[in-house]
A and B are shown apart, each in its own frame.
Chain A
Amino acid sequence: MGGTEVKDGLYYSKEHEYARVEGDIAVIGITDHAQNALHEITFVEISDVGTILKAGDECGLVESMKASSDIFTPVSGEIIEVNVELENAPEIVNEDCYGKGWMFKIKPSNLAADLSKLMDAEAYKSFIESE
């Protein structure tokens, strides 16, 4: 499956979610490595706007033709927006996981501490190579 993209400037979890900090919010999605492994994504569901989460909490699921996997938030806070585009076009996650395929936005409650526990691009690259 060569050619996995890891973007600089994002924060990565061991569960293959990323967090991108945009001003005072965090945008969460799954990594290119994750969408590659799942392949043909058929369904995405994220907890409701307003849900308060702690980093590591389960907050949704992704279904592919192959399997079902849970989504965990890498950042604590409140869900302030869910990508509704994915409801009818979940394949966007396969096509553009770091862009149009983002999954939800969080208003962080403990950002600095949460980010310090995530990997940067270099560390995540080594992590997926070692997996």
Chain B
Amino acid sequence: MERTHLYDWHKMHGDVIPFAGWEMPVRYSDIRDEHMAVRDAVGIFDTSHMFRFFIKGPQASEFLQRMTTNNVSKLEVNGGHYTTCLNENGGIRDDLMLYRIDADEYIWVTNAANGPKIREHLVKHSKSFDVQVQDRSSEIAMIAVQGPKALHLLSKMAGRDLNEYSRFTCNPVKIAGYDTYLCRTGYTGEDGAEVLILNCPLTNEGKKRAIGFWEALLSQGSEFGATPCGLGARDSTRLEAGLVLYGHELDEDTSPIEARIPYAVKFKVEPHYIGYDIVKSHKEVGVKKTRIGFVMTDRGIPRENYPILLNGQVIGQTTSGGVSPILNNGIGLGYVPPDLVNIGDVIEIDIKGRHRKAKVTEWPFYDPQRYGATRTG
């Protein structure tokens, strides 16, 4: 089991569980309260278990275009985008955030569970390019600051207005004396940032530095309602926003077109990425399955791997499910064949043998006028 820089703090204040090879906090107080802090104020998440690869060299852009599906040439210095890395069959090896920090240098931030697999994949393919791949995960801590008050808090700590950095940018910024990359991104549906805190090796000194930043967020954030949040709220906020999670909605047998994340996939790119032809045919010819969202109308809470039924016939399977604290109702995501159901249609979820009605619903599951980044952005 691995531990992040903040493990000692989590152990003292939270309920620590094993997750993807890491000992991580599932909650500190109530998952529901942590969830609502993200929607109404600001939630603080330790995301240091994710991997941070630095990719640098004269051919960094070409290399990354070969590796990923979004348009790397459109990514400006200090810009970031969501993208995927595919296998030869167009299945998703990984979904990630790619940030360009210099003309020839990028940061690839990826899922904890996929880190070792992706490192191997990148190192192997980098040999054909003039490029260096460096795993700097253990010397950089990463903390997500999410919610409508996130930028208020970070600006207060930085002593200047950080709203000058628009969403999806990544800039070197000094915050409370710490050298960071301020990435204006997140995984909750809310506005906010993911802060890469540099010079935090996994030593006592480095851990103390990371905990110092974390505690500064909490103490300076008390006026904004800053709340430490665990993996429970991380999952419930991303699900309520309809965001995909690797190992659930995404896997090596699912393409980004099937997963309905078309914004991560571009076709006017050079060179073509691995899996290009298959994803293009998924876009132009069609797919065998497509992702849907649904809200329970009967009693019951959906979970992953429950059968989805239409008119009594099993048509697919759920990939994630849980309670939406905002709707106070069961919500879920899953896959069904294309063109079988439309928004508003009634389906059934087989919850341990009990067939319960649900309505096919577009995500996010909350009202974007009242919650989420579009309201604050």
Contact = CB atoms under 8 A, between A and B. Distances in A.
Interface in A49-80: 61, 63, 65-66, 68, 70
A39 B30 contact: yes
Interface stretch (B1-9, B68-76, B296-304, B339-347): B296-304
Interface in B199-233: 232
Nearest to B353: A58
Contact of B322 (A1, A45, A65, A70): A65
B32 A40 contact: yes
Nearest to A62: B301
Contacts of A42: 301, 323
Given A63-B323, A65-B236, A66-B232, A40 B30 contact: yes
Contacts of A63: 301, 323
B267 to A, nearest CB: 41
B299 A68 contact: no
Q: How big is chain B's contact interface, by range?
A: 10 to 19
Contacts of A87: 299
A70 B352 contact: yes
Contacts of A65: 27, 30-32, 232, 236, 322-323
Given A39-B31, A65-B32, A45 B232 contact: no
Contact of B26 (A1, A61, A66): A66
Contact of A66 (B31, B300, B351): B31
B30 A68 contact: no
Contacts of A43: 299-301, 323, 330
Contact of A45 (B27, B299, B303, B323): B299
Nearest to B325: A65
A40 B31 contact: yes
A45 B299 CA distance: 9
Interface string A12-50: 000000000000000000000000000110110100000
B27 A39 contact: yes
B14 to A, nearest CB: 12
B32 A61 contact: no
Interface in A82-120: 87
B230 to A, nearest CB: 10
Nearest to A44: B299
A39 B330 CA distance: 17
Contact of B301 (A39, A40, A68, A70): A68
A45 B323 CA distance: 15
A53 B301 CA distance: 24
A8 B303 CA distance: 36
B207 to A, nearest CB: 25
Contact of A61 (B232, B236, B322, B352): B352
A70 B352 CA distance: 9
Interface string B246-258: 0000000000000
A65 B331 CA distance: 12
A87 B354 CA distance: 16
A66 B351 CA distance: 16
A33 to B, nearest CB: 14
Interface in B332-377: 351-352, 354
Contacts of B299: 43, 45, 87
Interface in B1-46: 15, 26-27, 30-32
A79 B302 CA distance: 25
A43 B323 CA distance: 9
B102 to A, nearest CB: 42
Interface in A114-129: none
Interface string B46-88: 0000000000000000000000000000000000000000000
A65 B323 CA distance: 7
Contacts of B236: 65
- Count chain A CB atoms within 10 A of each CB in B15, B236, B301, B351 and give the residue with the most: B301
A42 B26 CA distance: 17
Contacts of B303: 68
B320 to A, nearest CB: 13
Contacts of B301: 42-43, 63, 68
Nearest to A43: B301
A43 to B, nearest CB: 5
Given A43-B323, A43-B330, 7 more contacts: A40-B31, A63-B323, A65-B27, A65-B236, A66-B26, A68-B301, A68-B303
List of 6 A-B pairs having minimum Cβ-Cβ separation, nearest first: A65-B31, A63-B301, A42-B323, A43-B301, A68-B303, A40-B30
Interface of B: 15, 26-27, 30-32, 232, 236, 299-301, 303, 322-323, 330, 351-352, 354
8 contacts: A1-B15, A39-B30, A39-B31, A40-B31, A63-B301, A65-B27, A65-B30, A65-B322
